[in-house]
Copies of this chain bind each other. A is one copy, B any other.
Amino acid sequence: MIIILKPDPDPTQLESLQSWLRSRDLDIHMSQGQTSTIMGLVGDTTVVDIGQIRMFDIVEDVKRVQEPYKKANRKFHPQDTVIPLGEGTIGGGSFTLIAGPCSVESKEQILVVAQEVKRAGATALRGGAYKPRTSPYAFQGMREEGIALLLEARAATGLPIVTELMDASDLGAFEHVDVIQVGARNMQNFALLKVLGKIDKPILLKRGLAATIEELLMSAEYIMANGNEQVILCERGIRTFEVATRNTLDLSAIPVLKELTHLPIIVDPSHATGVARYVRPLSLAALAAGADGLIVEVHNDPAHAKCDGAQSLTPEAFSELSDAIAEMLPIVHKAVIPAR
Distance of A142 Cα from B221 Cα, bound (Å):
22
* Cβ–Cβ contact B244 & A309, under 8 A: no
> Given A55-B309, A285-B288, do A65 and B47 touch, yes or no (CB 8 Å)?
no
Picked from B34, B210, B242, B339, the residue with its CB within 8 Å of the CB of A281 is B339
Q: Does A290 contact B (CB under 8 A)?
A: yes
* Cβ–Cβ contact A169 & B168, under 8 A: yes
Picked from B170, B238, B254, the residue with its CB within 8 Å of the CB of A242 is B238
Chain B residue, CB-CB nearest to A28: B33
* Cβ–Cβ contact A136 & B328, under 8 A: no
How many residues on chain A are close to B (CB under 8 Å)? Answer: 116
* Cβ–Cβ contact B251 & A240, under 8 A: no
Interface string of A176-207 (1 = CB under 8 A from B): 00000000011011111010000000000000
Which residues of A pack against B, CB within 8 Å? 2, 4, 20, 27, 29-36, 38, 40-42, 46-47, 49, 51-52, 54-56, 60-61, 63, 65, 68-69, 132-138, 166-170, 185-186, 188-192, 194, 208-210, 212-215, 218, 221-222, 225-226, 238-245, 248-256, 259, 272-274, 277-278, 280-282, 284-290, 302-311, 320, 324, 327-328, 331-332, 334-337, 339
